[in-house]
A and B are shown apart, each in its own frame.
Chain A
């Protein structure tokens, strides 16, 4: 019995849930960004698994798109982190409430 697509999808779901848990439970802004990366990575895994199962390389193309979006997101996010830290001296997301109306 080999490894089927369901194995990869279950692994992807586990990684996604761990990432979502990290986004909710951590209060350091950098760790929250890293958990977001984890979630994007699990989505990539699902894309590539479906690509293999369907014999269609479109899933891999979408994975490249997701990778680009993740790179742009990380660049902007980390620039914001540095700017916030120089202004407020903290990265605690419970303290950072500047956008709260």
Chain B
């Protein structure tokens, strides 16, 4: 049963990702990205990360995608006549392939050296993935990074306001 759901939603997320990259209409790209993020949230549920799945739907598929959709509609971007990047496409793809090849090589060497999950969990705690469990780890072990995120968000808000004012 779990594998059926996994394959269905893995296929959905890959389909959505391919549509994001290949579709000519930006609105369709945004909606495909929503499909991908929603399918990923379902996969999070399969991974027993329920709180994170809810946050994924609320923040990603809700807020961030509304922002994207608003910008696309606001700017009234027409369909791209040429979706290919005509300039230097081969060089760029070559660099990308080289980086991916290097990463794959490093990963395979690392796997050969025994990267296998030595302390893989045999049993999960009762509160795994719930608000209680994640909150406990977040506020006990990672309190400072969590507080610093608020600084990051304040800086981002101030930057956005500054950029938007400059445009006028």
Contacts and interface: CB of A to CB of B under 8 A. Distances in A.
Given A24-B92, A52-B47, A57-B137, A68 B149 contact: yes
Contacts of A98: none
A24 B96 CA distance: 8
Tell me whether chain B's interface is mostly helix, strand or loop, or mixed.
helix
A16 to B, nearest CB: 9
Interface in B28-61: 29-30, 33, 36-37, 40, 43-44, 46-49, 51-52, 55-56, 59-60
A24 B90 CA distance: 10
Interface residues of B, number: 81
Nearest to B120: A53
Contacts, number: 211
B20 A22 contact: yes
Interface in A42-101: 44-45, 48-49, 51-58, 60-61, 63-65, 67-76, 78-83, 85-87, 91, 93-94
Q: Which one of A37, A54, A61 has the greatest number of beta carbons of chain B within 10 Å?
A: A61
Given A21-B96, A49-B47, A72-B152, A79 B159 contact: yes
A56 B121 CA distance: 8
Contact of B59 (A60, A71, A85, A94): A71
Interface in A1-25: 1-3, 5, 7-8, 11, 14-15, 17-22, 24-25
A79 B164 contact: yes
A74 B67 contact: yes
Given A11-B13, A18-B14, A54-B121, 8 more contacts: A25-B85, A25-B89, A27-B84, A37-B60, A53-B117, A65-B145, A75-B156, A78-B71
Interface of A: 1-3, 5, 7-8, 11, 14-15, 17-22, 24-28, 30-31, 33-35, 37-38, 41, 44-45, 48-49, 51-58, 60-61, 63-65, 67-76, 78-83, 85-87, 91, 93-94
Across the A-B interface, give the 9 residue pairs with the lowest CB-CB distance, nearest first: A55-B121, A22-B21, A72-B156, A79-B160, A18-B17, A83-B167, A52-B47, A27-B85, A79-B163
